[in-house]
Structure 1
Amino acid sequence: MYRLTRPPQFIKVSAHFRLVVCERNSIAEQVRNYMTYSELLLHHIHSWSLQTEFVPKHVRRYLKFNEKFKFPPKKLSSSDLNSLTSRVEVLNYERQVQHVQRYGLVRADVTMLVVQVSRDAERLQYLIVSLSQVHYIQSVLLVFSHSYYDEKINKLVQSITFARVLQIFYPYSLQLYPNKFPGVDVEDCASAAGATDKYCSNRDARRVEHKHHWWWKACFIFNNLDWSDSYTGTVLFLEEDNYVLPDLLYMLRYTSRAQTYIPGIYIMAFGRPFAKNLDYDLLTVDSWHPPFDIGIAFNKSVWQRISTVSSYYCMYDDVSWSYSMLNLFSRFREGQAGMVATQAPRVLSTSMFPSGRIAVQKIYGWIKEARMFPANVKAVALYSSTGRVGNSPKLPPQGNGGWSDMRDHLLCLDPLMSTTTGAMNELTATTIVPTTTTEAQFLTMAEHSINISDVEIRQLL
């Protein structure tokens, strides 16, 4: 009878599987073991191919987290919290930009893509993969604003080599304040089980952090960077569960040009729920409202307008940052914020899928027939005799709740205390009335052809 005295050599091919063969096993049992191992190995290889089949080989190195990855619970001691708080303060003060030697110093007109990052590293890695495939990405500054400090996420972001990168850290996060406001206050109703004190605050710190973080990072970007005082570029806001298309920056140049042609436009929007048969060469003009809160962009002049009415964001009883912005925009002189948006989205959300990998597979199926990088782009707006026609978003009079704690209001307002008293460079809107003798309700179509050559786009970037 033949016996194997050691496992076969090919067992070392993968560290994920181990085959143990006892010396007394029969040859038939050993063969079955080998077949089982081979099936497992083939399944492992097949699973990896599914994970990477839509990702170009040269950027697969950014795929470091599988679908089941979760950060383990970690309770920091008082000394650890103090050390981490100091670390965050230093990093926000230094504001170190990576890769300036390769891509040049940051100019005051640079386009910034600002990503809000929490703990979903698996989806974040696919956003980075998508950013690496965006044309002209080497010309922008990628800013990652973190609400959770972890070396694994930091190393992932620091491994980016296709653009300049800056990391900033939200200093009032739940991680840094685990047992007190602005984190999880144990005396809040949402935290104290069975609390009966009618004066306790029904506040969920896990929900309000996102709204706080969104506002804080916008304040930081427009007010606290070295070039903020003279900044003339555009900031495009993303989140860790977004996925961007390769012609995002290409279309940003068109929307910027549309802004100069069409009066009263403050917001550029690149995301919306995906739908079939959308035109990739069409820009639409409307009033900004959710669900156009994915991939919005604006410049510092618009931010200065926003700052003057900041209380309508910070004191609006709605835990959603997007509906709080909608309330704020309703206080503009026009009663809304004009928007130019790509009809076919260039920023998609992966949050509706169980994982980033599954989302990317679906997205590739959606866009395989997409006609990106259109040679001709049209911006379409509807006008009546009283001006441009757009949707009038309806707002709940008191918001949807979750943001009634005065401490949150004050914390939100605080970053703007020193910036809202200066002179504001307000944008003005001119009402265009079509020259027609028909009734006031008759709508005319205004199309602006905004054609820019590839050479011009490079110069603008």
Structure 2
Amino acid sequence: MWEPCELQSAEISKLASTIELLNYERTVFQTQKYGIVTSKTNMLVVQVHRDVERLQYLIVSLAQVRDVESILLVFSHSYYDDRINKLVSGITFCRFMQIFYPYSLQLYPNKFPGIDPDDCVSTAGRTKRFCSSRDGRLTEHKHHWWWKANFIFNNLDWSDTFKGTVVFLQEDDYVLPDLLYMLRYMTRSQAYLPGLHLLSFGRPRAKDLDFDVLSVSSWHPPFDKGLAFNKSLWHKISAVSSYYCLYDDLSWSYSLLNAFRKFNEGHVDMVATQMPRVVSTSTFPSGRAAMQQIALWLVGARMFPSNVKAVMLYSSTGRVNSGVKPPPRGNGGWGDLRDHLLCLDPLMSTTTSNTNDMSATTYSQTTTKAADYITVAQHKMNMSIADLRNMNFK
């Protein structure tokens, strides 16, 4: 349960300055041992909150990945925690760096983007009129995912020339040793099958899945575990960012699916490992329990296949799963205009001094005036007039 007053005001201010400095420095560790990062270095990016135990098992699994010394491991934190920082700083098997989400509930415990006093959820047991139904504890994950992707593709020293692949992970994931081995086969398949822009290493587990088969289909949740793509796809996603930022759903994956429907093809094709190389431990009561079960699953596993096949399924009416559409309306929880604006410009400098104002977020002078918020949002939308009229600006 989130404790809204863990830090005093002076402590929050000091921590915010520390995080700003760390994000500015963007220090890469272990370069003396493994060399500098280049524009072709692949990255594994882990979104971290507070689950130290599961993160520990993820790091153990990463250490066992073949060729892990060739990548850059990035930890993107929504919570500054000395225990987690100590765990990460002990990594010696590859290059790594840490970045910190600057609009977290830890830094904004009692005002937007955290829990605003005027939000309905801030008065437990009481009914408030004219309040925002947003819950900052739930909106943070979608914000963090989007900010992290923007930071990785736009703000790193090598971002402008980056030609590698970024694999997105969560703190409660566990990876198999042939993750990077299969990444090479999957990127190679993109040369033979044009139009494949997404890679997926995770899927719901089922029996009798083949370790040497890659499946080609349209991407959709729940193929969001171990999602991977390059900067070329990111440019296309950024061009339709409003369909992510204004989609009324707390899920980053369904919001991303909504953005994909605005591509010329109406969807994005992916190549996925039929047997997952990224497994979620979130469905288990603890990380230890997850490790015990995963160890049983991997008995007799045929990892590192010498030959890999890519398959695309067809029926008498055409390709199976040729396009998956998101629900026309999201599942809710993301209807607050302030969330839309922060999402549309995630790398901005913000202050939230007036928490009683629904349009409280203020931009630095280099961005815009508060009176122009709606204009800015609509300018960035790249939407049709019909779609604009359907958006809910309240």
Q: TM-score range by the shorter chain?
A: 0.7 to 0.9
Q: 2: distance between equivalents of 1:337 and 1:196?
A: 43
TM-score by length of 1: 0.73
Q: 2:19 aligns with which of 88, 94, 98?
A: 88
Q: 2: distance between equivalents of 1:71 and 1:358?
A: 25
1:318 corresponds to 2:245: no
Shift of 1:195: 5.2
1:223 corresponds to 2:160: no
| Paired position in structure 2 for 1:357 | 288
Report the secondary structure of 2:313's partner residue: strand
Report the secondary structure of 1:297's partner residue: strand
Shift of 1:77: 1.1
| Paired position in structure 1 for 2:173 | 242
Question: Which structure has the bigger radius of gyration?
Answer: 1
Q: 1: distance between equivalents of 2:162 and 2:168?
A: 16
Shift of 1:387: 7.2
1:371 corresponds to 2:302: yes
CA contact (8 A) 1:272 1:293 kept: yes
| Paired position in structure 2 for 1:296 | 227
Report the secondary structure of 1:322's partner residue: helix
Q: 1:184 aligns with which of 115, 118, 123?
A: 115
| Paired position in structure 2 for 1:346 | 277
Q: 1: distance between equivalents of 2:95 and 2:144?
A: 22
| Paired position in structure 2 for 1:111 | 42
Which deviates more, 112-121 or 384-393?
Answer: 384-393
Q: 1:148 aligns with which of 74, 79, 88?
A: 79
| Paired position in structure 2 for 1:162 | 93
1:131 corresponds to 2:45: no
CA contact (8 A) 1:219 1:416 kept: yes
Q: 2: distance between equivalents of 1:211 and 1:257?
A: 31
Q: 2: distance between equivalents of 1:76 and 1:275?
A: 44
Shift of 1:114: 0.1
| Alpha-carbon distance change, 319 to 71 in structure 1, aligned in 2, over 3 angstroms | closer
CA contact (8 A) 1:307 1:416 kept: no
Q: 1:328 aligns with which of 259, 271, 293?
A: 259
Q: 2: distance between equivalents of 1:316 and 1:257?
A: 33
Note the 1:8-23 alignment, pairs <5 A: none
| Paired position in structure 1 for 2:385 | none
Q: Deviations over 1:56-98 (max 9, x none)?
A: xxxxxxxxxxxxxx99997211110000000000000000000
Q: Deviations over 1:91-132 (max 9, x none)?
A: 000000000000000000100000000000010000000000
Shift of 1:390: 2.5
Q: 2: distance between equivalents of 1:130 and 1:208?
A: 29
Q: 1: distance between equivalents of 2:235 and 2:333?
A: 27
- Work out which structure has the larger RCO, using CA pairs closer than 8 Å and 6 or more positions apart in sequence: 2
User: What's the C-alpha RMSD, in Å, of the aligned pairs?
Assistant: 2.2
Q: 2:102 aligns with which of 171, 176, 180?
A: 171
Which deviates more, 72-81 or 91-100?
Answer: 72-81
Size of the aligned set, in residue pairs, is 352
| Paired position in structure 1 for 2:352 | none
Q: 2: distance between equivalents of 1:322 and 1:72?
A: 27
Q: Deviations over 1:130-153 (max 9, x none)?
A: 000000000000000000001110
Identity of aligned residues (%): 66
Q: 1: distance between equivalents of 2:19 and 2:13?
A: 10
Q: 1: distance between equivalents of 2:265 and 2:159?
A: 27
Shift of 1:263: 1.7
CA contact (8 A) 1:288 1:339 kept: yes
5+ residue gaps, structure 2: 349-366, 368-376, 381-394
Report the secondary structure of 2:266's partner residue: coil
Q: 2: distance between equivalents of 1:373 and 1:310?
A: 37
CA contact (8 A) 2:258 2:325 kept: no
CA contact (8 A) 2:147 2:347 kept: no
Shift of 1:163: 0.3
| Alpha-carbon distance change, 266 to 385 in structure 1, aligned in 2, over 3 angstroms | farther
AA partner of residue 297 (structure 2) = W
Q: 2: distance between equivalents of 1:380 and 1:402?
A: 38
| Alpha-carbon distance change, 187 to 73 in structure 1, aligned in 2, over 3 angstroms | closer
Q: 2: distance between equivalents of 1:403 and 1:174?
A: 16
TM-score by length of 2: 0.86
Report the secondary structure of 1:167's partner residue: strand
| Alpha-carbon distance change, 194 to 173 in structure 1, aligned in 2, over 3 angstroms | same
CA contact (8 A) 1:135 1:247 kept: yes
| Paired position in structure 2 for 1:397 | 328
AA partner of residue 296 (structure 1) = L
Q: 2: distance between equivalents of 1:306 and 1:250?
A: 27
Report the secondary structure of 1:363's partner residue: helix
Shift of 1:394: 3.8
Q: 2: distance between equivalents of 1:396 and 1:388?
A: 21
Note the 1:376-387 alignment, pairs <5 A: 376-382=307-313
Q: Deviations over 1:403-458 (max 9, x none)?
A: 0000000000113789x999xxxxxxxxxxxxxxxxxxxxxxxxxxxxxxxxxxxx
AA partner of residue 99 (structure 2) = I
AA partner of residue 62 (structure 2) = L
Shift of 1:186: 1.5
CA contact (8 A) 2:139 2:333 kept: yes
| Paired position in structure 1 for 2:136 | 205
Shift of 1:393: 2.1
AA partner of residue 335 (structure 2) = S
| Alpha-carbon distance change, 183 to 196 in structure 1, aligned in 2, over 3 angstroms | same
Note the 1:54-93 alignment, pairs <5 A: 75-93=6-24
| Paired position in structure 2 for 1:28 | none
Q: 2: distance between equivalents of 1:252 and 1:403?
A: 34
CA contact (8 A) 1:270 1:347 kept: yes
Q: Deviations over 1:275-329 (max 9, x none)?
A: 2210000000000001100000000000000000000000000000011011111
CA contact (8 A) 2:109 2:115 kept: yes
| Paired position in structure 2 for 1:305 | 236
The structure 1 segments of at least 4 consecutive aligned residues displaced by more than 6 Å after TM superposition are 70-74, 384-387
Report the secondary structure of 1:190's partner residue: helix
| Alpha-carbon distance change, 74 to 180 in structure 1, aligned in 2, over 3 angstroms | closer
